Chain A
């Protein structure tokens, strides 16, 4: 079911792009990631609207007062919250539903890349079953040209320089930087009266997530690292186009200004 609806169509579209761009799998990953992000762009916009609405609620004086007034009465607080949702025109599901829909698409995209980079007989056999016979020809797709710049996209990436005895994991470093930049740029400014615990959790995620992604990029096939980088950059661009990027968050001074 999952394969039929998500993985197989994804692999075929990605392979189709691969044949269109002169059998360059690196370019195919980049273009396919852009395509998926464009298709899911309306969901991103909807998610952003929902998040903005929730942030406005946090700043609303009536909500701040209601929280104080009904701090020991959860039922009344919930009723007040629903009332404010109606008044402010907020759909509480608007921020999480797009995420729920996008999540399997992103996982599907990731799995499609993995499956396309078949590096063992069992993986190649599985790949042959994903290809629509009338649409693409296995004989022209295999072997997949996994060379891109200095990388073999089926292997973890290292840049070997003649004067160094070890390879530099350039892509893993770029993944860490772009993941960190993305999470910092998308972090909304903290509202007065906002929950400290939530802010602490957000900061923790901003630190751990880039290292987790960096570790994955360091150990897994570089085709995935390329996807991580492209996905991060497009994510930043999408938010920038919607005017929701806080460039000041990247500056060290912004932390100090917040503390004041």
Chain B
């Protein structure tokens, strides 16, 4: 009889372990988020927010100083007015001193993740959350208004100074009055929006969707001016450069589109899934694929350099102080920095 109990007990323990280890939403993971400002790089990854000197990769500070249970950071930090604003996956939005990393204030909605970076405009913080609420705060963290929706907000808003344009995974872009939070318009783009739009000087918004479309939306009316159909879902934010839009799709194609009419100028195969937005640098645009390739592309579509890193690249590369910085996961290094020719400059391992 003992022999019959042992397998039963093993089955029970195995089942309990499997059931309890299969992805609690409170400990969901994502990829690193980065922002460059004033020759400093701010990185959110897992249990830490790091400030790193762009020139040599030395760590300036870390928040929190020791890993704390439940604090998981993945949204790219926002730098404004001497503070770093960064949300975590337990529903908290922190304001940190940009020089020291010490906490100035925090709010906690207690539920959804902060997947999106906040936007600071006219002394108002717009913080969209996966708890389906957009929080508008002043620079001391005091709530001005909130806007509730039926689905989560995953992407950083943009603004023209009067209206905030907030994409949602419910397929809509919401235009909200910055002073009151009242909806000005909402435009259905036909697919979930998981990254930010770009707003040009003429008031046109450009945004990719998981329905494979890159859409141009008039920011005054919310009307769709044109749509470009890509081969696969568009996860990334387009880069606007000299009247052209550059972006990649999950199928691994990089596109150059005329922003005036949505016609394709060129495309090339990057041979890998692209979730990361491109980043403009003096010679062109740098793209990365999930498989670890980093490509420097000229505005005409010529490959300027190609690098292959170990690990995965899902977060967008950033450019600052003559460096291109890429964050990797499942690798020995969290950060890899190189110059505009693709020559390695420094690396930084993940914090322990």
Using a CB–CB cutoff of 8 Å, the interface residues on chain A facing chain B are: 96, 99, 103, 107, 110-111, 114-115, 117, 119-125, 128, 138-139, 142-143, 147, 154-155, 195, 197-198, 201, 205, 209, 212, 216, 219-221
| B192 proximity list for chain A (CB < 8 A) | 139, 142-143
Decide if A114 touches B23 in the complex (CB within 8 Å).
Answer: yes
Chain A nearest Cβ from B323, distance in angstroms: 25
Q: What's the Cα separation between A77 and B327 when bound, in Å?
A: 64
Helix, strand, loop or mixed for chain B's interface?
A: loop
Q: How many A-B residue pairs have CB under 8 A?
A: 99
Decide if A139 touches B209 in the complex (CB within 8 Å).
Answer: yes
Answer yes or no: B253 CB below 8 A from chain A CBs. no
Using a CB–CB cutoff of 8 Å, the interface residues on chain B facing chain A are: 1-2, 4-5, 7-9, 11-12, 15-16, 18-20, 22-26, 28-31, 74, 89, 111, 113, 115, 130, 150-152, 154, 169-171, 190-192, 194, 209-212, 233, 235, 250, 275, 314
Q: What's the Cα separation between A216 and B169 when bound, in Å?
A: 28
Q: What's the Cα separation between A122 and B30 when bound, in Å?
A: 5
| B30 proximity list for chain A (CB < 8 A) | 120-122
| B150 proximity list for chain A (CB < 8 A) | 147
| B12 proximity list for chain A (CB < 8 A) | 205, 209
Return 26 A-B CB contacts under 8 Å, by A number: A99-B11, A110-B22, A111-B22, A115-B23, A117-B25, A119-B28, A119-B130, A120-B74, A121-B30, A121-B154, A122-B29, A122-B30, A122-B31, A122-B314, A125-B314, A128-B210, A128-B233, A138-B210, A138-B233, A139-B191, A139-B211, A197-B1, A197-B5, A212-B16, A216-B20, A219-B24
| B5 proximity list for chain A (CB < 8 A) | 197-198, 201
Decide if A120 touches B210 in the complex (CB within 8 Å).
Answer: no
Q: What's the Cα separation between A142 and B193 when bound, in Å?
A: 10
Decide if B25 touches A198 in the complex (CB within 8 Å).
Answer: no
| B8 proximity list for chain A (CB < 8 A) | 201, 205
- A122-B314, A155-B25, A209-B12 known; 18 new pairs, CB 8 Å cut-off, are A110-B22, A114-B23, A119-B28, A119-B152, A120-B29, A121-B314, A125-B235, A125-B275, A128-B250, A138-B191, A138-B211, A139-B190, A139-B212, A143-B152, A143-B169, A143-B170, A197-B2, A219-B26
| A219 proximity list for chain B (CB < 8 A) | 24, 26
| B23 proximity list for chain A (CB < 8 A) | 111, 114-115, 123
